[in-house]
Structure 1
Amino acid sequence: KGIRVIDAPVSGGEAGAIEAVLSIMVGGEQTDFDTAKPILEALGKTIVLCGPHGSGQTVKAANQLIVAVNIQACAEAVVFLEKSGVDLNAALDVLNAGLAGSTVLTRKKDNFLRRDFKPGFRIDLHHKDMGIVTDAARNVGAALPVGTVVASLVASLRAQGDGGLDHSALLRGVERLSGHPTQG
């Protein structure tokens, strides 16, 4: 029958892997997906066939776009709130309970509060992923106006020596642009 393959990138980070609750986006044939699904269920909670071969990688690229833009928006909000004299911890709690809430804000809140940028998912890796998504979008003719700006901000952090930090260190870039002393 030959070798059968699927592409099955994951999302959920280190915490999702440890808790076996990763989201797994799969590209391939239905029969191959059905064969692999019991194995994938040991790793993840949401396992979805997204289309033919390559679709998993495309969905993963979209995931990295959304995560980067979300982290950037959170970082901008943090600096805005701090410069406004608001209780940051309280503000992030109430924001996360409303429409502004997100898994990014839940998982990265302590990084922002403590300026703890110990690598979970490094800027260097997100830079690579932003290159993948911007190239793929260009190839299919999809405009990414905000994503392209965030890709440039990620590249800027790398150029400033922050590539080994967690991607929540996008906060450092916003601090620099705002004349706010960087911490962490």
Structure 2
Amino acid sequence: MVKSCNQTLAAATVSALGEALVLGTKAGVDPAKIVEVLSGGYARRGALEIRGEAILARDFTPGFKSVLQLKDLRLAVELAHGIGVPTPLLALVQEHYKAAQVIASGEEDHTNVLKVSEQLAGVEVRGGAQ
């Protein structure tokens, strides 16, 4: 159960990180600057500290595969359903990762969920000035 709780938070964090990077990039902010500022602020999270530079370098070499993240999200949804706990945010994050399986490889790192937000916004997050 605790692993499912952890995966719920981790996946939501990575999904939100992707959206934040796409938002700033689309607005013309250097993604490296976004990573730098977010790394020092209240929104700082392990995903950013561990994978921030790799995301900027477009390195989706798996630390934790996207397909495994989706499996863990399915398990968390099933557990929540089984004990009658509504999890609307978890359901949304699960759908985000399902979309990532369609547009990117499930064998890549789970941070590839960023590619969903990129495709929707028509922008690519890449280190250095845009």
Compute the TM-score of the two structures, normalised by the length of structure 1. Answer: 0.65
Query: 3-state DSSP class of the match of 1:147?
Result: helix
Matched residue, 1:69 = 12
Q: State how far apart, in whole Å, the 1-side matches of 2:85 and 2:123 are.
A: 35
Answer whether contact 1:111 1:168 (CA < 8 A) is retained.
Answer: no
2:101 corresponding residue in structure 1: 158
Instruction: Work out the CA distance in 1 between the residues paired with 2:73 and 2:27.
Output: 31
In 2: Cα distance, 1:104 partner to 1:123 partner: 14
Q: Does 1:130 align with 2:73?
A: yes
Q: 1:170 aligns with which of 107, 113, 117?
A: 113
SS of 1:165's equivalent in the other structure is: coil
- Shift in Å at residue 89 of structure 1? 1.4
C-alpha displacement of 1:179: 2.0
CA distance in 2, matches of 1:148, 1:181: 25
Give 1:123 shift: 0.7
Deviations 1:22-60 (A, max 9, x none): xxxxxxxxxxxxxxxxxxxxxxxxxxxxxxxxxxxx000
State the distance in 2 between where 1:166 and 1:172 align: 11
Residues 22 and 125, structure 2, Cα contact 8 Å, conserved in 1:
no
- Take 1:161 and 1:68, find their aligned partners in 2: how far apart are those partners? 16
Give TM-score scaled by structure 2 length.
0.90
Give the alignment of 1:48-63 within 5 angstroms: 58-63=1-6
Q: What are the ranges of 5 or more consecutive residues in structure 2 without an aligned counterpart?
A: none
Q: Which residue of 2 aligns with 1:92?
A: 35
- CA shift, 1:158, in A, is 1.5
> Which has the larger strand fraction?
1
User: Which has more helix, going by share of residues?
Assistant: 2
> What stretches of structure 1 move > 6 A for 4+ residues in a row?
none
Q: Deviations over 1:78-121 (max 9, x none)?
A: 11111111122122222121110011110110122111101111
Percent identical among aligned pairs is 31
Q: Could you report, residue by residue, the CA deviation over 1:116-147 in whole angstroms, capped at 9, with x for unpaired residues?
A: 10111101101110000000011111111111
Unaligned regions of 5+ residues in structure 1, if any?
1-57
Partner amino acid for 1:96? S
Equivalent of residue 179 in structure 1, options 92, 103, 122: 122
1:182 Cα shift?
Answer: 7.9
Q: Which has the larger radius of gyration?
A: 1
Question: Alignment length, in residue pairs?
Answer: 126
Which is bigger in relative contact order (C-alpha 8 A, separation at least 6)?
2
